[in-house]
Amino acid sequence: MIENAKTHWDTVYRTKAPDAVSWYRPHLETSIDLIQRVAPDSSASIIDIGGGESTLVDDLLAKGYRDVSVLDISPTAIEVARKRIGDLARHVTWMVADATQAALPSQRYDVWHDRVVFHFLTTQEERTAYVQRVAGSMKLGGHVIMATFGPEGPTKCSGFDVVRYDAQSLHAEFGRHFQLMESATELHQTPFGTTQQFLYCLCRVE
């Protein structure tokens, strides 16, 4: 992703409170439910892509998971999350990186989680680079949980154009090594009193 995206995201997190961004939710319940369902064992290795300042990492640690990684392009977001968690932050691998360029370990993760990050990748080149990273760093039999804006979601997010997906078009970006297990739309309530349609997809790595 281009350098001004990194500047953009870091400025967002330097200038806005965690609960003053449209994607804020106190807890990512749908994500937590899916993660617990596909990886009930607390030894599971989980990576949250574009985790930002979300509380998913706090909730996973509270549920006993001890192999959690959070990757984000914004150093400010990573620092805010790390400080908020305090002592338990030592159980987390923090990565400041672009998800389309990150050097990730091979066949390392049981769960890949991305809530509203992939939809910012508007070129095929970026999406291919992203999917290569998923394919290379996931264990066989692992699960990929993706949330994007759905077909009736907004066309922009945080000022950027986004690609909206239905389950078939999102799965098509990943290809035959990923089996689409389930999908659902969700109406996200923004802190500003509006709603946005999200699409959640769960895929298994074949």
What is the binding site for ligand SAM (CB under 6 A)? 1, 5, 9, 23, 50-52, 54, 71-74, 77, 98-100, 115-117, 120, 157
Q: How far is the CB of 8 from ligand SAM (least distance, A)?
A: 8
Q: How far is the CB of 140 from ligand SAM (least distance, A)?
A: 25
Nearest to 116 by CA among 21, 23, 28: 23
Nearest to 74 by CA among 145, 4, 163: 4
Nearer to ligand SAM, 27 or 141 (CB): 27
Q: Where are the alpha helices (DSSP H) in the chain?
A: 3-15, 29-38, 56-62, 75-85, 124-137, 167-174
Residue that the structure tokens 């620092």 belong to: 79
Q: How far is the CB of 50 from ligand SAM (least distance, A)?
A: 3
Q: How far is the CB of 58 from ligand SAM (least distance, A)?
A: 12
Nearer to ligand SAM, 50 or 153 (CB): 50
Query: From the centroid of its chain, how far is CA 101?
Result: 15
Q: How far is the CB of 179 from ligand SAM (least distance, A)?
A: 24
Q: How is residue 184 written in tokens?
A: 């659902």
Nearer to ligand SAM, 39 or 95 (CB): 95
Nearest to 34 by CA among 183, 171, 177: 183
Nearer to ligand SAM, 52 or 142 (CB): 52
What is d(CA 12, CA 30) in angstroms, rounded to the nearest whole number?
25
Residue type, 72: D
Nearer to ligand SAM, 39 or 81 (CB): 81
Q: How far is the CB of 98 from ligand SAM (least distance, A)?
A: 4
Nearer to ligand SAM, 33 or 206 (CB): 33
Q: Side-chain half-sphere of 73: how many Cα atoms within 13 Å? A: 19
DSSP count for the chain of H helices, then E strands:
6, 9
